[in-house]
A and B are shown apart, each in its own frame.
Chain A
Amino acid sequence: DGGITQSPKYLFRKEGQNVTLSCEQNLNHDAMYWYRQDPGQGLRLIYYSQIVNDFQKGDIAEGYSVSREKKESFPLTVTSAQKNPTAFYLCASSPGTSGRGRETQYFGPGTRLLVL
């Protein structure tokens, strides 16, 4: 049963703390993405990765970091430098580099991050 999993569903962060959100896919997709959604807003791109060991900043990368050591995994760390981290975080993947439908992104269920 292929898909994208995100964990945890809810995450609480204390002031000055770094937290890491997990994203795993078994779709054999090359590209992976992290988005942030705020109330009444669309999805804003944080980071994306087209291939293992490579990633690029999106539109709102400040205060976040990522790694892509395995094709299946793309964890996102929300650092203490992110001053307004409360949001719904979405991970997505797409076939990526070639083939029909390579642009279509498939999303995980999301993680809601709350600040204590």
Chain B
Amino acid sequence: DQQVKQNSPSLSVQEGRISILNCDYTNSMFDYFLWYKKYPAEGPTFLISISSIKDKNEDGRFTVFLNKSAKHLSLHIVPSQPGDSAVYFCAASGRNSGGSNYKLTFGKGTLLTVNP
């Protein structure tokens, strides 16, 4: 049972335009969300995160939006650059029975291709 879903396996955009990557989750106990970027044969790189007490977090060209009622988050990249071409993973964290956050549940990823 997938608790974090990225329903688009791939996305293609033109350089300079906006890229919007989507993620849905089913577990209402998740309270912290992260986006990672991954190039082939490398480890994921942390991009941006958001706590469930917020609905938006921005860092440079990257903005994450959280809609708790819809259990949906999205990553916006503006403007998109060819170097942004990679697989993007959405991840979520929730408190275990002991009350500390430590596990992440990952989606399957979306391959973003930014065309020059």
Contacts and interface: CB of A to CB of B under 8 A. Distances in A.
Interface in B80-114: 89, 93, 100-104, 106-109
B49 interface: yes
Range of interface residues on chain B? 20 to 34
A42 B108 contact: yes
A47 B103 CA distance: 10
B34 A103 contact: yes
Nearest to A88: B41
A42 B103 contact: no
A42 B106 contact: yes
Interface of B: 4, 9, 32, 34, 36, 41-46, 49, 89, 93, 100-104, 106-109
Interface residues of A, number: 30
Given A50-B100, A96-B100, A103-B101, 12 more contacts: A42-B4, A42-B89, A42-B106, A42-B108, A44-B106, A48-B102, A88-B41, A94-B102, A101-B49, A102-B102, A104-B46, A112-B41
A31 interface: yes
Contacts of B41: 88, 110, 112
A31 B89 contact: no
Contacts of B49: 101, 103-104
Contacts, number: 62
Contact of B89 (A43, A103, A104): A43
A96 B108 contact: no
A5 to B, nearest CB: 11
A63 B89 CA distance: 26
